[in-house]
Amino acid sequence: MTHFNKGFFFSTTFSALLFFTACGDKKGKDDSKKNDQASTPIIEGYVAQPQHVENDIEVSGTLIPSEQIELMPEISGRIIQLNLPEGGHVAKGTLLAKLFDSDLQAQLSKLQVQLKTAQATADRQKELLKVNGISQQDYDQTTLQVSSIEADIANLNAMITKTEIRAPFEGTIGLRKISEGAFVTPGTPLATFRADQQLKIDFNVPEMYASQIKNGMPLSFSVDGDSTVFIATVIATEEGVDAGALNFSVRGLVKEHNPHLIPGASANVKIALGSTDNALLIPTRCIIPQARFNNIIVARKGKAAFVKVQTGVRRPFDIEIVSGLNAGDTVVTTGIQFIHPGNTLKFSSVK
């Protein structure tokens, strides 16, 4: 009978298990390493270096008339006269529309007759008062009646004035929205009326430039379809920054009258704010926009770090980083959508 050594069998089996386990762990680590290498995106980078930059703000704006209103009546009535030449130029004070006022004119005539009679009575009583032919109380009562009629006439004249719609300033009539004979009420639009000799331009700038925009500052702009550069001057700004859009509203006054400049047209506005010798510029494609701020991906010890930055001057292909970036930092320019915080970065090229 063959005798089996149990101790030898256990030792051999245990050694074999350790061998296969070690091989399995090594293979697993090798596979994990290969997977990590395969998942590491190969991207391109850009080294931020100080540059000379002209601090020119370029934003979109809108041309608006210096004055514009909707012509509307103050009272209800029927239009008996209409002078609204569409596209026509009218002087300040021109009668543009007249409402029916014959009833008011009749009341005015009646009051004027009453005033004439009361005034004549007051004049006679004044002479009688000098010779004590009338009491002071009777004379005062008559003069009070004169004053009351004069007040009624003034009130009636004010009501008649409301039946007239006159041009509040020199300007141009827009499209007429009503016809003669129509019954109108307060708030019924008759036509648009705007000043045509002077234009303004409205635009917004990022909040970081709010402190640099001052009244009297010159600006230039151009409109679509015209290469001419027009000049304007900043005349007003909002008191604060729009908390939602994080921008600053500015209004400029256009210095010249040109038929190519039409109210409502969009404009490309440019404001020169000097220059900077140590600006850090990166390609615009590096920016990851968020709701209230912007991010970029910077290489920190070979890993991806998402950094919050504040932007400045924007040019066609690059943008200034005001804060959040240091000179010499390497910024990821491609493959941004595949990178997560902490990923190992492997650059195929760095510019």
Three-class SS state of 209: helix
Residues 184 and 283 in one domain: no
Q: Which has the closest alpha carbon to 72: 89, 84, 88?
A: 84
Please give the pLDDT value at position 96: 96
Q: Is residue 11 part of a domain?
A: no
| Domain presence at residue 333 | yes
CATH code of 171's domain: 2.40.50.100
Range of the domain at 122: 101-162
Based on the domain organization, do 172 and 77 belong to the same domain? yes
Is residue 20 assigned to a domain? no
pLDDT of residue 22: 47
> Which residue is listed with tokens 């016809």?
179
Q: Among 151, 176, 193, which residue terminates a domain?
A: 193
In a domain, 25, yes or no: no
Selection from 54-63, 106-115, 207-216, 219-228 with the highest mean pLDDT? 106-115
How confident is the model over 292-298, as a mean pLDDT?
A: 89
> Do 268 and 141 reside in the same domain of the chain?
no
- The CA radius of gyration of the chain, in Å to the nearest whole number, is 41
pLDDT digits (tens, 9 = 90+) for 301-320: 989 999 999 887 777 788 88
247 lies in the same domain as 324: yes
Residue 39 forms part of a structural domain: no
Residue 237 lies in a domain: yes
Final residue belonging to a domain, choices 162, 183, 213: 162
Q: What pLDDT sits at residue 11?
A: 45
Number of domains, the chain: 3
* 343 & 221 share domain: yes
Same domain? For 177 and 89 the reply is yes
Burial class (CB in 10 A: 0-12, 13-18, 19+), 200: buried
- pLDDT band of 45, cuts 50, 70, 90: very high
**Of 319 and 55, more confident:** 319
256 and 131 share one domain: no
pLDDT at residue number 241: 73
CATH number reported for the structural domain that contains residue 119 in this entry: 1.10.287
Q: For position 40, what pLDDT does the model report?
A: 58
* Mean pLDDT (the chain, rounded): 85
Which residue, 304, 297, 335, 345, is CA-closest to 48?
Answer: 297
d(CA 111, CA 158): 14
pLDDT of residue 242: 66
Model confidence pLDDT, tens digit, residues 223-241: 988 888 999 999 998 877 7
pLDDT tens for residues 66-78?
Answer: 899 999 999 999 9
Q: Answer whether residue 267 shows pLDDT above 60.
A: yes
What average pLDDT does this structure show over 94-110? Answer: 96
Q: Would you say residue 12 has pLDDT above 90?
A: no
pLDDT at 133: 87
Can you give the pTM of this predicted structure?
0.59
What is the three-state SS of 109-123? HHHHHHHHHHHHHHH
Do 153 and 167 share a domain, yes or no?
no
Q: How confident is the model at residue 245 (pLDDT cuts 50, 70, 90)?
A: low
CB 201 within 8 A of CB 267: yes
Q: For residues 126 and 133, give the distance between their C-alpha atoms in angstroms, rounded to a whole number.
A: 9
How does DSSP assign 116-146, residue by residue? HHHHHHHHHHHHHHHTTSS-HHHHHHHHHHH
What does the pLDDT average to over 94-101?
96
Which CATH number characterizes residue 334's domain?
2.40.30.170
Residue 33 has pLDDT above 70, yes or no: no
- At 79 the pLDDT is 96
Separation CA 203–CA 247 (nearest Å) = 10
Lowest mean pLDDT among 236-245, 276-285, 328-337: 236-245
| Residue predicted with more confidence, 262 or 241 | 262
Q: What is the Cα–Cα distance from 331 to 65, expressed in whole angstroms?
A: 46
Higher pLDDT, 203 or 16: 203
Q: Are residues 183 and 291 in the same domain?
A: no
- Whether 158 and 168 map to the same domain: the answer is no
Confidence of residue 298 (pLDDT cuts 50, 70, 90): very high
Q: Among 193, 213, 243, give the residue marking a domain's end.
A: 193
Clarify whether residues 208 and 345 are in a common domain. yes
Pairing label, strands 171-176, 183-184: unpaired
Q: Are 52 and 274 in contact (CB under 8 A)?
A: no
Residues 323, 307 contacting (CB under 8 angstroms): no
Query: What single-letter DSSP state applies at residue 317?
Result: S
Same domain, 334 and 204: yes
